[in-house]
A and B are shown apart, each in its own frame.
Chain A
């Protein structure tokens, strides 16, 4: 089946993709650890359920969605704002290769050799909406490009969905606005699948069941982890004040937890590491 909006696209890899529902996952280029984990999880679960995951190969949510889809063993398509031969950002060259190797495609409405131009990206966002059956927004600050994709989806009469976030985070302003305006709230991949009108079979697939994002707790670490949030980063200084421990010791313990993958360090502090939901047997 060839859709009219697919005419004139430059493509690399397998195009058109295999038959099936298509979901775009878009959002901030600088997400919180929470948003990144959600995008990856949704990408993986949707891919496992046979959904083609579409995103824009950008930093942040886009990359997490692509990566998740690849982890889920599915097909993912990157709609690019540059020529299909120009990977932007360049650091995603490896990711682009993996997308192609996974049976996915890179597509673009721009001629080969087009370099990143600010004004090309809104048009790309529109194309992304056109190619998808549903658009899921994960973390978007006010004025985020992901909201352009959502607007385009509305114009094209496609479903728009949004993942809620912390009310303390500026990255939730855009998504909560969408929900307020009537976008469907996404709790897990099942919600997206329902919107896609996926069959009962798919819904009953255990892989698409709600996944609890578990906290990797380790025994014998004095519960420093339990003082950490999984959304807001805390500095070693704050933790040392809270626990009344010397900062040198706290820093050492945090590093040990980091080595074990139980906490993650960001520029501004530490958060609990989110563990991907275990694959049920």
Chain B
């Protein structure tokens, strides 16, 4: 088994190479989706001919597309994501200064979502068919359908403008004042977590029901094992991998919703950065954020795979 996990990681890394190539190519080709001459689009309406020529050269629009891609990828691999067209700041530095806010928000929402969603799922599964089960299932349906940003607005109205328990907007650096940063991130994290709560509650419920209805659980029950021991020792252990996988998949969704939640709470994260840059056609920044976030997601999925293989010998053995 010790042999299995590193082997699996190596195999996963190999599989990630083509995914990375496609993802980076998508980010690169965004420039080509612009209508008309991309250099003129980037330069804006009042640009001089020299500025357009300069941009054309910076982006390498005068060379074949594949050459440009490898040129761009080479620069990106060295950490050179270009400069903002407005502030002329380094895109990488811009992103790195804002990424901690977004990561904190997403992690916070993920933890909140798991802390609420998993117990709700277990509760619903062990009391299948009861009123409690129906309430949990219905609330989960609401949780998937509610627009996070609307919930955010309502939370601000209630708890910031109404009761003044939480600050309405803004964020604090997690490195300088960690506790205050958490305090500022609480309302946005709650607004963001509804989808995770709902999905985890549903999936844990159905996965657990499947395990609890299986043959070996029936055998254990016949042998006289109590339902508590069955749930904690056998049921949940077999659902753990499912929980982890689903929680990992939520990271993708959370980064999506964070784009809008950061706008509601005026959090200076990468979500706010990309929507602001898209509105203002600051293209290197848009590409940079998309690139960094897709890498974060890919690495998260790898981490989930590794954790699964570490805890569940069947996963490592199957590769």
Q: Do A and B assemble together?
A: no
A residues sitting closer than 8 Å to B (CB atoms) are: none
